[in-house]
Structure 1
Amino acid sequence: MTQIKMIATDVDGTFLNQDRRYNQARFAQQLQQLQEAGIRFVVASGNHLGHLHRVFAPTPAVQTFVAENGGLVVDHGETLFEDIIPTPTVHQIVADILADPALRPQVLRLSGAHGTYINRRDHPSDEAAQRYFFNNIVLVDDLTQVEDTIYKINGEWANETIQQLAAQLNQRFPDQINAMASGFGSIDIVAAHMNKAIGITRLAQSWGIAPEEIAAFGDNDNDRDMLAHVGLGVAMKNGTETVKAVANLITPTDNNHDGVLDVIDHILAGEV
């Protein structure tokens, strides 16, 4: 059995329960055990870095983040890698999506180094959720005029259509983007070659860790590449069927019942 040297986990629908909380006391104890065992813990999320800092503020020992679906890798405040969507491509994609009634979302966002940009006329279906996920909102009149380092384009559509729409977007803009359903009615659009697997691989290589020495947890389509790439890909019991199809293991319990933490205990015990 290959020894696990790195654990990477998605956040929403995976590490967090439906109330967007986690068992802080149990996790803090596990972090100490992981450190003693020489196992690195990494957050791998589609969310922007500021949001992830806020989520894990109760556990300050968490200091390594693969944010923006792999587009930004930060360890202890140091940016190790970043991969952006070129500004002309951002402007072209935004203009084309907004001009096509079949593709136009309820809300379109640009996740950048200095803010999350939203057209001031757009209104999300859930204002509270937007405030939770995006604590750096910048309202603008025209997204095609935004000049910033853009890691990701995020759109909000009807939840039942997002996987089909992601496929349509990839067909519409071949070799320019990678569009992935990310849950909660959202699609994340990153650079064509980018995904969480790329982000965690770059990080692992900097630590001398091979893919087969990584365990990764996820629940949605933007986790598929990551789970398929590592030695132990763990899909959540509450995850999508497409994620479960590439996993080595499915958690016995879901995200509302410490599914990730339960498997971490098994990893620490050398049982998986």
Structure 2
Amino acid sequence: MERKLIAIDLDGTTLNAAAQISAKTKAVLTQAREAGHIVSIVTGRPNRISADIYDELNLDGPMINFNGSLGHIPHHHWADEYQYTFNREVAFDLLAHREELGINMLAAEGKNLFLAVRDHPVELGFFPSILQTNQILNQKTLTQNPTSLTVAVDRSHQEHLLSYIQHQFSDEIDAAPWGGPNAVVELGVKGVQKATGVEVLAHHYNIKRQNIIAFGDEHNDTAMIDYAGWGVAMQNATPQIKALASDVTPLDNDHDGLANYLQDYLKLAE
């Protein structure tokens, strides 16, 4: 079998509902690498909360974070490292209008950037529950352009926020609402998606598109599933992702759906 590039989303895909990697998933991904295939994490998560998973899987190649906006090799210098950023004035504008837009929390992030401001408690596992003094987002502290802005709003304000962003910044920003229970909108550089990162990986490893297999479950996986020669939707994926995918895993992310599928697909020994 030709060498495959296996692009894996984390939440809802490689990780179970408790955000853990099962022993079986770890074993199968290790087996796939031992068989000569490449395993790459391609996630919406910031690098600060995916490096531990990268390490747990003993990966050594590039990782893609922020839905394609950052490509880097954790703990190492990589000549092809890249990061897309947008003008920090977008953050300043949202800060100035946060009351009328119903913004409860605003976080600006990048590879080496994490600043946030919170007006109301927001229970999101991705963000520290208590901000240190040096993590407060304001006009003075945000000295660099961010890669990502994460905005938590009152559910009743989400549509208003989206139309405001569309109206003000549509030529430079893409806004993507998160799936799940929280009214959260993530902002990134216009046109940059997970497929942007997968394309960089394919060039880096000299892998043709037909030898890319990608796994995902949510709307931010759309471009990657579409770009891959074989896009696989998780059993727990959204209907849109399932409709787009080449195949759907018989089992969900809580029952080793990715691991079982890969084992069959790559014909790895039990």
TM-score band, normalised by shorter chain: 0.7 to 0.9
**Is 2:226–2:244's contact at 8 Å kept on the other side of the alignment?**
yes
- The correspondence for 1:154, drawn from 150, 154, 164, is 150
CA distance change for structure 1 residues 237 and 93 in 2, over 3 Å: closer, same or farther? same
Q: Using structure 2 for the length normalisation, give the TM-score.
A: 0.83
Q: Which amino acid aligns with 1:156?
A: A
Q: Distance in 1 between matches of 2:240 and 2:114?
A: 29
- The correspondence for 1:142, drawn from 106, 116, 138, is 138
CA deviation digits over 1:99-154, x for unaligned, max 9? Answer: 266644321111123231102x434421655239x999953252575112521111
CA distance change for structure 1 residues 135 and 66 in 2, over 3 Å: closer, same or farther? farther
Aligned residues: 264
Q: Distance in 1 between matches of 2:163 and 2:14?
A: 27
Q: Distance in 2 between matches of 1:43 and 1:66?
A: 6
1:237: Cα distance to partner?
A: 1.7
- Partner residue of 2:59? 61
1:238: Cα distance to partner?
A: 1.4
- Partner residue of 1:78? 77
**Is 1:180–1:189's contact at 8 Å kept on the other side of the alignment?**
yes
CA distance change for structure 1 residues 239 and 264 in 2, over 3 Å: closer, same or farther? same
- Partner residue of 1:246? 244
SS in structure 1 opposite 2:88? helix
- Partner residue of 2:7? 8
Q: Distance in 1 between matches of 2:261 and 2:155?
A: 29
- Partner residue of 2:123? 126
Any unmatched runs of 5+ in structure 2?
none
SS in structure 2 opposite 1:8? strand
Identity of paired residues, percent?
24
Any unmatched runs of 5+ in structure 1?
none
CA distance change for structure 1 residues 29 and 224 in 2, over 3 Å: closer, same or farther? same
- Partner residue of 2:170? 174
Q: Using structure 1 for the length normalisation, give the TM-score.
A: 0.83
**Is 2:25–2:256's contact at 8 Å kept on the other side of the alignment?**
no
CA deviation digits over 1:187-217, x for unaligned, max 9? Answer: 2211112111001101211111122211111
Q: Distance in 1 between matches of 2:229 and 2:159?
A: 26
CA deviation digits over 1:237-263, x for unaligned, max 9? Answer: 212222223211122111111111111
1:183 is the counterpart of 2:179? yes
Between 1:187-196 and 1:48-57, the stretch displaced more is 48-57
CA deviation digits over 1:162-201, x for unaligned, max 9? Answer: 6896576345422211122333423221111211100110
SS in structure 1 opposite 2:56? coil
CA distance change for structure 1 residues 113 and 129 in 2, over 3 Å: closer, same or farther? closer
1:259 is the counterpart of 2:257? yes
- Partner residue of 1:22? 21
Q: Which amino acid aligns with 1:58?
A: E
CA distance change for structure 1 residues 15 and 212 in 2, over 3 Å: closer, same or farther? same
